[in-house]
Amino acid sequence: MKALVLHGKGDVRAESVPDPTPQDAHSALVKVERAAICGSDLHLYHGDVPAAPGLVVGHEFVGEVMEVGSEVTNIRTGDHVMVSGVIGCGQCKRCLNGEVVRCERKQTRVFGMAPELPGGQAEAVAVPGAEHAIRRIPEGVSVEQAVLLTDILPTGYFGARNADIEPGETVVVIGAGPVGLLALLSAQLFGPARVLVVDRIPERLALAAELGGIPVSAEHADSVIAEMTNEQGADRIIEAVGSDATILKAIEWVRAAGTVSVVGVNTSPAVPFPMIHALMKDLTFRVGLVPVPELWSALIPLVACGRLQPERVFTHRMGLSEGAEAYRRFNAREDGILKVLLDPSR
Amino acid sequence: MKALVLHGKGDVRAESVPDPTPQDAHSALVKVERAAICGSDLHLYHGDVPAAPGLVVGHEFVGEVMEVGSEVTNIRTGDHVMVSGVIGCGQCKRCLNGEVVRCERKQTRVFGMAPELPGGQAEAVAVPGAEHAIRRIPEGVSVEQAVLLTDILPTGYFGARNADIEPGETVVVIGAGPVGLLALLSAQLFGPARVLVVDRIPERLALAAELGGIPVSAEHADSVIAEMTNEQGADRIIEAVGSDATILKAIEWVRAAGTVSVVGVNTSPAVPFPMIHALMKDLTFRVGLVPVPELWSALIPLVACGRLQPERVFTHRMGLSEGAEAYRRFNAREDGILKVLLDPSR
Amino acid sequence: MKALVLHGKGDVRAESVPDPTPQDAHSALVKVERAAICGSDLHLYHGDVPAAPGLVVGHEFVGEVMEVGSEVTNIRTGDHVMVSGVIGCGQCKRCLNGEVVRCERKQTRVFGMAPELPGGQAEAVAVPGAEHAIRRIPEGVSVEQAVLLTDILPTGYFGARNADIEPGETVVVIGAGPVGLLALLSAQLFGPARVLVVDRIPERLALAAELGGIPVSAEHADSVIAEMTNEQGADRIIEAVGSDATILKAIEWVRAAGTVSVVGVNTSPAVPFPMIHALMKDLTFRVGLVPVPELWSALIPLVACGRLQPERVFTHRMGLSEGAEAYRRFNAREDGILKVLLDPSR
Amino acid sequence: MKALVLHGKGDVRAESVPDPTPQDAHSALVKVERAAICGSDLHLYHGDVPAAPGLVVGHEFVGEVMEVGSEVTNIRTGDHVMVSGVIGCGQCKRCLNGEVVRCERKQTRVFGMAPELPGGQAEAVAVPGAEHAIRRIPEGVSVEQAVLLTDILPTGYFGARNADIEPGETVVVIGAGPVGLLALLSAQLFGPARVLVVDRIPERLALAAELGGIPVSAEHADSVIAEMTNEQGADRIIEAVGSDATILKAIEWVRAAGTVSVVGVNTSPAVPFPMIHALMKDLTFRVGLVPVPELWSALIPLVACGRLQPERVFTHRMGLSEGAEAYRRFNAREDGILKVLLDPSR
């Protein structure tokens, strides 16, 4: 089949690879209908995360079930399904509850990050532990929405949920990339009076405004936040960039007894944490990986009922065969690109 | 001054009464700019709640500060303010926290319900404990919105907050009167996937739909709720009618481990509570009086930022001198009437 | 085998019945080592709950695994285990989370309440859905403690958890029977300053005092609670009797914005609920069936580490062959009886 | 009067200073009966926190009211009272709620840390904002317990409350100094199955065991915690040392989706925070200053009812005139010293 294969730093190619084969009676074979490129795929593309050459990448994908193991009872051949981008052992108490990122047997794995679990930017994928990792796409949820439900929408929602938002509060989202914008949409579910969105790129700020946020240019953010909060700081901050600098700004901008929720990926072993300021503030600080299937029970009905319309983040739709170009543009942030949808049939 | 005076069952008249006089250094005198008639005023009008003839009625009003006691530091003469419809001692721990309905000294009182605290359907009102009962109307909040903030919007919000709503859930509001509609708006702050609104009156259901609810005719409610929840029952119910029958329906319609929040006023000493069904369901059941000032810290920014637009419930605007007719129509539910705003200058 | 069989009102006999047979690959056969008689068994004994003659009764039992179905992976032959007194379908989301009393497929069943699921006051029991219903008795938990973990200790804990107790609060437990005493022990886990226990029977009050409660004779309870709470009412009430009268007292004794948690079984379809008082109080009222396996994750370590010592409620230890006499005495509350442990080998 | 005065690094002397004078009608004059030395006083003693020479130190003290301003209604001359070690403006919403460390007007101050607010290791203290800072010592609370209620017991409790402990969980307290031991006592209010206490000093570990903790020698803590938690990590960690190393250990030892609560004072602007490990763990991390008066409503009844017995941490009782020696020994951790009580009459 055709798939996007990582050959080294900055080198992703669409090429032929062997067809995937389900491993056991708990697995399923899914023919991919749409996949997406995620910001975390760029960690592989940049070589920040080491990967053996030849890896089939991608962890956001939906498709049609072609084969299903004898022990899998929740889906059938022919079903259109979404697949959690991250999976666990599927049997411990946490996995049964959908908290696969906290698998007690420490078998948390992401599609397309290691050779044992080839990714979904491909024509087909073998999915282990299908009973827990796969969900039928329900009525009211489009294919594009379903792709977002596999990872990035739960991530944005996780950031908002971790922020302890209460009705009437003022929230700041740092970063208007796709995760930040989905955090903005998710934050609105918790009844804030205002959600400020801070970024440097005017088009991203314009989109934030369109989605209900109050755009704040990064260069003026210090004074705007101070003024809008009467020098008290914002009630809650969702950090969706992941740099040391924005994490420190989050701690600076939050009010006393407020919450900083980090969903931007920062892989540093030693961010210089201002303990003395956190101490004076009475800070709650949260950071973690998204437990995708656990969050589906809240997110699927919200999307199906039209309360969440995340698909607005897709700015580019390309064929899987254009994968190398898609990665190049996404990485370069060319052309107002936010999120790319890939079609394996093209 | 001119005021609406209750003379007996069904007999409210606009007439002249002595001007009010502030009692002490903690009081203020407010010239009323707008007042509203509340469903609970009808309890007096019906004679359900006993009242001495000659009572000046009304507990929803806003106005301009004319005099202010020497100990009151949060407002000044000339300020446009809203006044909590319910007040307490103003000094115990709960009153300091805005929970005036739970005053530890048991001094909870409502304007216009007893001769000691004449009401606000009048040209002026003397407000005791002004430091806690009065708040300046902030920028972004209109006079009509401010009237709703004195009692009925907090009531609808209190019903929604007490319902334990979590994102993605299905909520049922029973009753599309003004409290029910404001409960609908408030419920949406907690991120439900769907809010069903049950009523018998088509125009009220139409308004519920306009405000984002899913209208359900009372006669079909049993089957509609069963079907939409896959026979599991709704996650949360907000009862905004107050009859025995609707309270029992609320317990019937809620799912296992769900919540029933009652804001409809039911003054019965013995509602026949189906303990055996509640036991099988693992029910949380809540009912109470709204702690108005406590809720302002959430509600004022929501209204000021445009996230809550409660003024849609006003269907009729009349002069205070038309008070008798206003009560008659409101009581008769004539002419699509939902909520009446009174102007003391007319 | 030998078992206790219900033949009609007040008629339980120890007699021979056919040996049980596991139904399928998800079942297990357990040889009973100890069983207990529960207050809810008396509902059958009194004929309040209808039962076909010939029912093998009892839902509190522990024992040794004799056979285990091929699909059951969490236990093995020879294991000493406890069995949840209540089970569900074992496959829906709620059953997977241990909330078997809220089974989405409505398959909640209690051992020894219907012919399809014979009870545990017997030499052996066939347990369906063993993967979810059975847990190995861990180190540090005695056989007697394990019997209490199958139903009544979780019930007492459920009552306490539902009461929203916060550190420093004053709690009232109504009823010093076995459920009330275990609710007392459980309430202490939430850090109250004081737990008052109300009963009429001096020996039960003495035991409550021994277990850390403040004994209050029922006849003086009104004035004692008023005085100890400065006329404000108790923060939280746990009702462990189940009569209409004690439920009404619970609502009377609780403070404004407090919680009443009912664990006493009241099977009335129409308890006269004082809605007007509840309204004035801002009441949270909870009642439900205990989700036994869900609570094991908290309770098992507490017992194993010695933080909960529930076995003190066993006042009588008898042979299974003395079952008729055991029921008679338990029903008559003779001889200071609180809770009877039955040994099938005698 | 006599007072302890800081003259420079390592130089505290008992000497004569002018008598204090209450500033205004909201102040009170308190004759000190007992004071204590706090670990945070050592920051001044070490010169870590800059201080002008001549400062009267100490923020933990109780005494008798000698004079009281005309606006102070909650206490009278002759009352025996405790004083919050930290105060705010006393008028903003947060101060009214006892959250003086989060004063909206940024007037949070600690006694004995700056010349404007002389401390309590003295014969008398002038207390501004007495209505909020002072509480009468209630029946059932001893003088020594009251001293602990002014700062260090609330601090230990704050650490425990911030840790999100649920019944049955495993908690680790790092550090068995006075704050750690009071965090241990406080943690037990939340129903954990086990509280492990880690320290290097055998006598401190012995005391931790006496108070209900499981002592763990720091050198074996890695393996003990791993083994006792089945390699999952502890549910909750309370860090009561404040060094970079112990904060990093806290993050290492906590389980996935657990909580680290820091109450040890770390004044670093840049602790090297392992963001990548926190990300993998789904960490909640909290650090803050204790809101003393807010916590009194929970802690005073717990002490008065005998549920908390914090006085065990006092190991040394000395006269105020021995202050220099007291500081020297406390700083040197000589002689098993944990906490020193000072008597101004000696």
D302 to chain C: closest CA residue: C193
* Nearest-CB residue to D190 (from C191, C300, C301): C191
Please say whether the beta carbons of A51 and A35 come within 8 A. Answer: no
Closest CA to B145 of B30, B318, B300: B300
With cut-offs at 50, 70 and 90, classify the pLDDT of residue C334.
confident
Q: How far apart are CA D5 and CA D33, in angstroms?
A: 18
Task: Write out pLDDT tens, residues B8-24.
Answer: 999 999 999 999 999 99
DSSP B149-191: HTTHHHHHHHHHHTTT--TT-EEEEE--SHHHHHHHHHHGGG-
Q: D244: Cβ–Cβ under 8 A, 6 or more apart, which residues?
A: D266, D268, D271, D272
Judge residue A70's burial from the number of C-beta atoms within 10 Å of its C-beta, 0-12 exposed, 13-18 middle, 19 or more buried: exposed
Residue D141: pLDDT over 90? yes
* Nearest-CB residue to D282 (from A102, A279, A280): A102
Q: What's the total number of domains in chain D?
A: 2
Please say whether the beta carbons of B14 and B322 come within 8 A. Answer: yes
**B interface toward D at CB cutoff 8 Å?**
93, 96-97, 297
Chain A residues in contact with D287 by the CB 8 A cut-off are 275, 278-279, 282-283
Chain A residues in contact with C97 by the CB 8 A cut-off are 96-97
pLDDT at D30: 98
Report how many Cβ contacts below 8 Å link chain A to chain B.
63
Distance from CA of C306 to the nearest CA of D (A): 8
Task: Write out pLDDT tens, residues D66-99.
Answer: 999 998 989 999 999 999 999 998 888 888 888 9
With cut-offs at 50, 70 and 90, classify the pLDDT of residue A132.
confident
Q: Based on the fold, state whether residues B223 and B283 are members of the same structural domain.
A: yes
The pairing of beta strand D80-83 with beta strand D134-136:
antiparallel
Q: How far apart are CA C97 and CA C103, in angstroms?
A: 10
Give kind and range of the element (H or E) at residue C180: helix C178-187
| Average pLDDT value for residue range D166-175 | 98
pLDDT at C48: 82
Please judge whether C284 and B286 are an interchain contact, meaning their C-beta atoms are less than 8 angstroms apart.
yes
Please judge whether A288 and D268 are an interchain contact, meaning their C-beta atoms are less than 8 angstroms apart.
no
Q: Based on the fold, state whether residues A256 and A322 are members of the same structural domain.
A: no
Q: Based on the fold, state whether residues A203 and A301 are members of the same structural domain.
A: no
Q: How far apart are CA A274 and CA A260, in angstroms?
A: 13
Please judge whether B257 and C282 are an interchain contact, meaning their C-beta atoms are less than 8 angstroms apart.
no
Chain D residues in contact with B93 by the CB 8 A cut-off are 297
Q: How far apart are CA D59 and CA D120, in angstroms?
A: 6
Q: Based on the fold, state whether residues A280 and A332 are members of the same structural domain.
A: no
What's the angle, vertex CA B238, arms to CA B233 and CA B239, rounded to 5? 105
Chain A residues in contact with D232 by the CB 8 A cut-off are 104
Domain with B118 in it: what CATH number? 3.90.180.10
pTM > 0.80 = yes
Residue to mutate among A95, A108, A282, with most D CBs inside 10 A, is A282
Q: Determine how many CB atoms are found less than 10 A away from the CB of residue D43.
A: 16
Please say whether the beta carbons of D264 and A274 come within 8 A. Answer: no
For chain C, percent of residues with pLDDT exceeding 70: 100
HEC profile of A277-296: HHHHHCEEEEECCCCHHHHH
With cut-offs at 50, 70 and 90, classify the pLDDT of residue C141.
very high
* Nearest-CB residue to A289 (from D102, D275, D279): D279
For chain C, the average pLDDT equals: 95
Question: What ipTM does this complex have?
Answer: 0.95
Q: Based on the fold, state whether residues B28 and B120 are members of the same structural domain.
A: yes
Please say whether the beta carbons of D150 and D180 come within 8 A. Answer: no
pLDDT at B335: 85
Chain D residues in contact with C298 by the CB 8 A cut-off are 166-169, 191
Chain D residues in contact with C168 by the CB 8 A cut-off are 297-302
Q: Give the residue from B287, B309, B333 where a domain finishes.
A: B287
pLDDT at A238: 98
**C interface toward A at CB cutoff 8 Å?**
93, 96-97, 297
Chain B residues in contact with C272 by the CB 8 A cut-off are 269-273
Residue A51: pLDDT over 90? no
Q: Based on the fold, state whether residues A9 and A143 are members of the same structural domain.
A: yes
Helix, strand, or coil (residue D171): strand
HEC profile of A2-52: EEEEEEECCEEEEEECCCCCCCCCCCEEEEEEEEECCCCHHHHHCCCCCCC
* Nearest-CB residue to A307 (from B193, B299, B300): B193
Q: What's the DSSP call for residue A138?
A: P
Distance from CA of B242 to the nearest CA of D (A): 34
Report how many Cβ contacts below 8 Å link chain B to chain D.
6
Please say whether the beta carbons of A308 and B193 come within 8 A. Answer: no
Distance from CA of A266 to the nearest CA of D (A): 6
| Average pLDDT value for residue range D326-337 | 93
Tokens coding B220: 């079909």
Touching A: which chains, 3+ CB pairs < 8 A? Answer: B, C, D
The pairing of beta strand D194-199 with beta strand D214-217:
parallel
pLDDT at A59: 97
For chain A, the average pLDDT equals: 95
Please judge whether D191 and C301 are an interchain contact, meaning their C-beta atoms are less than 8 angstroms apart.
no
Encode burial over D291-315: b for 16+ CB neighbours within 10 A, e otherwise. Answer: bbbbbbebbbbbbbbebbebbbbbb
pLDDT at C77: 97
Q: Based on the fold, state whether residues C137 and C6 are members of the same structural domain.
A: yes
Q: How far apart are CA C278 and CA C283, in angstroms?
A: 5
Domain with A188 in it: what CATH number? 3.40.50.720
D294 to chain B: closest CA residue: B93
Most confident of B40-44, B183-187, D6-10: B183-187
| Average pLDDT value for residue range D183-209 | 97
* Nearest-CB residue to A283 (from D274, D275, D288): D288
Residue A56: pLDDT over 90? yes
Please judge whether C101 and B256 are an interchain contact, meaning their C-beta atoms are less than 8 angstroms apart.
yes
Judge residue B212's burial from the number of C-beta atoms within 10 Å of its C-beta, 0-12 exposed, 13-18 middle, 19 or more buried: middle
- 């091929």: which residue's tokens? C70
Closest CA to C301 of D170, D111, A25, A264: D170
Instruction: Give backbone dihedrals phi and psi of C72, rounded to 5 degrees, phi first.
Output: -95, 115
The pairing of beta strand A60-68 with beta strand A124-127:
unpaired
Chain C residues in contact with B277 by the CB 8 A cut-off are 269
Q: How far apart are CA A18 and CA A29, in angstroms?
A: 14
Helix, strand, or coil (residue D15): strand
Q: Based on the fold, state whether residues B221 and B72 are members of the same structural domain.
A: no
Residue to mutate among D188, D230, D305, with most C CBs inside 10 A, is D305
Closest CA to D173 of D162, D159, D189, D161: D159
Chain C residues in contact with B102 by the CB 8 A cut-off are 256-257, 282
For chain D, the average pLDDT equals: 95
Touching D: which chains, 3+ CB pairs < 8 A? Answer: A, B, C
Residue B327: pLDDT over 90? yes
Q: Give the residue from C287, C313, C333 where a domain finishes.
A: C287
Q: Based on the fold, state whether residues C162 and C117 are members of the same structural domain.
A: no
Residue D304: pLDDT over 90? yes
* Nearest-CB residue to D286 (from A272, A284, A287): A284
Q: How far apart are CA A279 and CA A276, in angstroms?
A: 5
Dihedral, CA of residue D150, residue D160, residue D260 and residue C302, to nearest 10: 160
Residue A92: pLDDT over 90? no
Please judge whether C287 and B275 are an interchain contact, meaning their C-beta atoms are less than 8 angstroms apart.
yes
Report how many Cβ contacts below 8 Å link chain C to chain D.
63
| Average pLDDT value for residue range C227-236 | 97
B281 residue type, one letter:
K
**D interface toward C at CB cutoff 8 Å?**
157, 161, 166-170, 189-194, 297-302, 304-305, 307
Residue B298: pLDDT over 90? yes
Residue C49: pLDDT over 90? no
* Nearest-CB residue to D288 (from A99, A266, A282): A282
Q: Give the residue from A260, A287, A314 where a domain finishes.
A: A287
Touching B: which chains, 3+ CB pairs < 8 A? Answer: A, C, D
Please judge whether C282 and B279 are an interchain contact, meaning their C-beta atoms are less than 8 angstroms apart.
no
Distance from CA of A325 to the nearest CA of C (A): 43
What's the angle, vertex CA B28, arms to CA B26 and CA B33, rounded to 5? 155
| Average pLDDT value for residue range B32-45 | 94
pLDDT at C132: 87
Pure H helices in chain D = 41-45, 93-96, 130-133, 143-149, 152-161, 178-187, 202-210, 221-228, 244-253, 275-281, 292-304, 323-332
pLDDT at B303: 98
C191 dihedral zone (left: phi>0; alpha: psi -120 to 50; beta) = left
Distance from CA of C75 to the nearest CA of D (A): 19
Residue A110: pLDDT over 90? yes
Distance from CA of A146 to the nearest CA of C (A): 21
B106 to chain C: closest CA residue: C232
Please say whether the beta carbons of B210 and B313 come within 8 A. Answer: no
Instruction: Report in angstroms the alpha-carbon separations of B143 from A15, B62, B127, B149.
Output: 66, 7, 19, 10
Instruction: Give backbone dihedrals phi and psi of C230, rounded to 5 degrees, phi first.
Output: 60, 40
Give kind and range of the element (H or E) at residue D7: strand D2-8
Q: Which long-range contacts (CB under 8 A, 24 or more apart) does C325-332 make?
A: C326/C37, C327/C4, C327/C12, C327/C37, C327/C41, C327/C45, C330/C37, C330/C42, C331/C10, C331/C42, C331/C45, C331/C46
Instruction: Give backbone dihedrals phi and psi of C48, rounded to 5 degrees, phi first.
Output: -65, -40
Task: Write out pLDDT tens, residues C50-105.
Answer: 888 899 999 999 999 999 999 898 999 999 999 999 999 888 888 888 899 999 99
Chain A residues in contact with D280 by the CB 8 A cut-off are 289
pLDDT at B329: 95
Domain limits for position A129: 2-151+291-343
Residue to mutate among A236, A279, A292, A294, with most D CBs inside 10 A, is A279
> How many helices and strands, by DSSP H and E, does chain C display?
12, 19
Please judge whether B285 and C285 are an interchain contact, meaning their C-beta atoms are less than 8 angstroms apart.
yes
Residue D171: pLDDT over 90? yes
Judge residue A166's burial from the number of C-beta atoms within 10 Å of its C-beta, 0-12 exposed, 13-18 middle, 19 or more buried: middle
pLDDT at D53: 87
Closest CA to D314 of D183, D202, D147: D147
Q: Based on the fold, state whether residues B76 and B160 are members of the same structural domain.
A: no
Please judge whether D193 and C167 are an interchain contact, meaning their C-beta atoms are less than 8 angstroms apart.
no
* Nearest-CB residue to B101 (from C275, C277, C282): C282
Tokens coding D117: 């607010």
Report how many Cβ contacts below 8 Å link chain A to chain C.
6
A93 to chain C: closest CA residue: C97
Chain A residues in contact with D266 by the CB 8 A cut-off are 275-276, 279
Q: Based on the fold, state whether residues A23 and A58 are members of the same structural domain.
A: yes
Q: Based on the fold, state whether residues A56 and A110 are members of the same structural domain.
A: yes
Instruction: Report in angstroms the alpha-carbon separations of B8 from B11, B54, B275, C143, D248.
Output: 5, 9, 39, 71, 73
